[in-house]
């Protein structure tokens, strides 16, 4: 059994952006919940932990709202009208989308991890692999496209180039 979810906003011990109840409520509003409603609580918890860790790997353009918080969100940011925003609504939605993505594509993601596909180039990836292709799955992507879209305002897309 996985650890207990701690989803305290800005908390030092937070290990997820969503509680199970929050995730279930958000999933109820989706047209396609990707099988979320059929999962047991242990599986949902594990998926939320992984989704949270994945989101925290993104380079965020804003500082943490609370210096001691464990997670990257909430942030100190302002929208185009100068209104303070912390990104919590967006990150909660993105966390659920990422968790559903992991559940939906678990077989391909597992294959990609075992085959060390992460970081390979197109030339080194053989089209003859046994991974069944789905039009919405790309083994190069560890992030759900929907999660990236929801968080796009907060992601730092700047490139840093240096001479080696």
| 158 occurs within a structural domain | no
Q: Does the residue 128 lie in any domain?
A: no
Q: Which residues contact 46 (CB under 8 A, 6 or more apart)?
A: 2
**Structural domains of the chain, count:** 1
User: Bridge-partner residues for 155, per DSSP?
Assistant: 60
Residues 72-110 as b/e (b if ≥16 CB within 10 A, e otherwise) read bbbbebeeeeeeebbbeebbbbbbbbbbbbbbbbeebbe
pTM of the model: 0.76
Residues 114-134: tens digit of each pLDDT: 555 444 333 333 333 444 444
88 domain-assigned: yes
10 part of a folded domain: no
Give the structural domain span for 91: 20-106+144-151
Closest CA to 106 of 43, 33, 57, 25: 43
Whether 68 is in a domain gets the answer yes
What is the percent of the chain where pLDDT is above 90?
51
Asked whether residue 1 is assigned to any structural domain, the reply reads no
Most confident of 89-103, 108-122, 139-153: 89-103
Tell me, yes or no, whether 73 lies in a domain: yes
- Model confidence at 47, pLDDT cuts 50, 70, 90, reads very high
User: Strand 77-78 relative to strand 84-85: parallel, antiparallel, unpaired?
Assistant: antiparallel
When pLDDT is cut at 50, 70 and 90, the band that residue 111 belongs to is low
């Amino acid at each position: 059994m996985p650890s207990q979810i701690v989803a305290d906003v800005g908390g030092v011990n937070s290990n997820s952006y969503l509680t199970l109840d929050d995730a279930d409520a958000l999933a109820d509003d989706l047209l396609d919940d990707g099988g979320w409603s059929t999962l047991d609580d242990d599986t949902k918890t594990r998926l939320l932990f992984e989704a949270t860790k994945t989101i925290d790997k993104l380079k965020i353009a804003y500082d943490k709202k609370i210096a001691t918080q464990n997670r990257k969100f909430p942030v100190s940011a302002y929208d185009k009208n100068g209104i303070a925003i912390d990104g919590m609504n967006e990150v909660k939605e993105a966390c659920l989308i990422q968790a559903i993505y992991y559940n939906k594509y678990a077989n391909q993601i597992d294959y990609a991890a075992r085959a060390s596909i992460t970081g390979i180039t197109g030339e080194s990836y053989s089209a003859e692999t046994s991974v069944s292709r789905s039009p919405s799955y790309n083994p190069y992507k560890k992030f759900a496209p929907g999660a990236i879209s929801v968080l796009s305002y907060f992601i730092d897309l700047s490139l840093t180039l240096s001479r080696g």
